[in-house]
Amino acid sequence: MPTAIEIFKHLPKKNCGDCKFPTCLAFAMQLANNKAKLDDCPHLSEAGKNALASSSAPPIRLVKVGVGRTAVDMGDETELYRHDKRFFHPVAFALRLADDLGEDDLYKRLSYARSLRFERVGQVLKLDMLELECRSGNAERFASFAKKVSAETDLPLVLRAKDATVLSAANLIKDRRPLLHGADASNLKEMCAVAKGCALPLVVGADDLNGLADLVEAARKEGVEDLVLDPRPANLKELLERCTIIRRSAIRKTFRGLGYPIYLSIPAGRDGMLMASTAVMKYGSLLSFEELPASNALPLMVLRQNIYTDPQVPIQVKPDLYPVNNPGPEAPLLFTTNFSLTFFTVMSDLEKSKVPVWLQVVDTEGLSVLTAYSAGKLTAESVKNALTATGALERSRQGRLIIPGMVARMAVKLNEATGLQIVVGPKESSGLPKFLRS
């Protein structure tokens, strides 16, 4: 997107307010932040519209794979660094299934794929796709394999083959909108014909970026626009550098021919895990795993969750009463807020103290203690309501409440609201172990 000033130049400058913003400049600033649409201005000239539409075309094309609620959106990213705004479409994880798998092994692998599902701070982390690879070299076999698997799963599919005749099996399941993989310099025309014929997205792969840019240009001439890039890195260095060049070229608009999502084939073992972690942080859109052991899947999925968090919207934990170190009715009661970072820090210090306690987490919409207090999201009332909702006072029968030192001034009101004796705890969470032991 161009800057607000660049946009402003093309606006009518009437400040009529028809776009619901007071001035043209205000509207331009909203446009620059993707918070308004060009069409909201009814007075924009054709010339201005064209100029803005072409410069506001997304630097990285949005490519959709699959249909319905499991569909995956890839690309349409606008940032190099997540702190500049955010990364939008979390990198998708696919597990590879080869068509030479025996019946038993296939069902085992499908059920394994389903088991890769975890709940964490209110979000579900899971596998997003399955990749079906033709290893048999037999078109009929691959076609019946694709049909069989597609009936077993509602996940989006990638169909991977080196031969366009084999890949034409896509026609059987094209209403599932699978992604096709396997176009390179040797088969581009044929692969494009299949993709175009079925109106499906296509991955093009080359061993260097110049060759990849040639393939993209050729594929577009064949009429395929929904493209995905496979830069085929042989090692970590190539992965990091190629993905960075592709992303930077697109975002900085130094070169527009590589503005597509990135597909990466991830080998088994340690090298694969290192490549995958790097690709989660550095611009991958779809990772296809040869193997994905569960002990690797969880850290990778949490890394993805972390990196794709909107920096302006804090992760929140569930407001609840948390037992720490096996507390009984005589254990003390503390509270903190539901901002994840605050919660994790307090939790870790409480565990470190080895003192049994009850921790009440109060819903502050993800704000930390002092911020929540200043914003009026942490009040004597909200603490009291949280304690009532969880039945905290039946669990901890001390008749006392330890409050964060930062909000010592809440003590009197809290005492009035709850009737509990209020004890002011340390200002920093790190002081908790010492405080609790004494």
Nearer to other proteins, 64 or 118 (CB): 118
Can you name the residues that pair with 93 across neighbouring β-strands? 287
Binding of residue 299 to other proteins (CB under 8 A) = yes
d(CA 328, CA 320) in angstroms, rounded, equals: 17
CB atoms within 10 A of CB 276: 25
Strand partners, 131: 96, 158
Alpha helices in 2-161 (DSSP H): 4-10, 24-32, 46-55, 103-115, 139-152
Under rule CB under 8 A, which residues in 213-252 are in contact with other proteins? 213-214, 217, 235-238, 240-241, 244-245, 248-249, 252
Cβ distance 410 to 380 under 8 Å?
yes
Q: Which stretch binds other proteins (CB under 8 A): 25-33, 54-62, 193-201, 255-263?
A: 255-263
DSSP string, 349-402: HHHHHT--EEEEEE--TT--HHHHHHTTSS-HHHHHHHHHHHTHHHH--SSEEE
Contacts of 50 (CB under 8 A, 6+ apart): none
- Report helix, strand or coil for 346: helix
CA distance 334 to 106: 50
Query: To the nearest whole angstrom, how small is the minimum distance from the Cβ of residue 186 to other proteins?
Result: 18
Distance CA 35, CA 413 (A): 41
Residues in 186-205 at the binding interface with other proteins, rule: CB under 8 A: none
Q: Judged by CB under 8 A, how many residues of this single chain contact other proteins?
A: 61
Asked if 268 touches other proteins (CB under 8 A), the answer is no
Segment near other proteins (CB under 8 A); pick from 22-30, 50-58, 290-298, 395-403: 290-298
Q: Are 71 and 64 in contact (CB under 8 A)?
A: yes
Residue 274: CB minimum distance to other proteins, A: 5
Helices and strands (H and E) in the chain: how many? 17, 17
Binding mask 395-434 toward other proteins (x if CB under 8 A, else -) reads -----------------------------------x---x
Is there binding between residue 338 and other proteins (CB under 8 A)? Answer: no
**Residue 209 CB, nearest approach to other proteins (Å):** 5
* Residue number, 118 or 413, with CB nearest to other proteins: 118
Decide if residue 83 touches other proteins (CB under 8 A).
Answer: yes
Stretch that binds other proteins, among 59-67, 109-117, 163-171, 380-388 (CB under 8 A): 109-117
Instruction: Figure out which of the listed residues 187, 285, 288, 309 binds other proteins, where binding follows CB under 8 A.
Output: 309
Nearer to other proteins (CB atom), residue 64 or residue 427? 427
For other proteins, give the closer residue by CB, 51 or 116.
116
- Asked whether position 293 contacts other proteins by CB under 8 A, the answer is yes
Closest CA to 427 of 319, 354, 346, 358: 346
DSSP letters for 93-107: EEEEEETT--HHHHH
Q: Is 326 in the site for other proteins (CB under 8 A)?
A: no
Three-state DSSP class for residue 425:
coil
Q: Is residue 282 a contact point for other proteins (CB under 8 A)?
A: yes
Residue 69 within binding range of other proteins, rule CB under 8 A: no
- Residue 307 binds other proteins, judged by CB under 8 A: yes
Instruction: Judge whether 35 and 26 are in contact, CB under 8 Å.
Output: no
Q: Which of 78, 136, 277, 371 binds other proteins (CB under 8 A)?
A: 277
Where in 166-246 does DSSP place strands (E)?
179-183, 202-205, 227-230
Question: What are the residues binding other proteins (CB under 8 A)?
Answer: 81-83, 115-118, 120, 209-210, 212-214, 217, 235-238, 240-241, 244-245, 248-249, 252, 254-255, 257-258, 270-271, 273-274, 277-278, 281-282, 293-300, 302-303, 305-307, 309, 311, 340-341, 344, 348, 351-352, 430, 434, 437
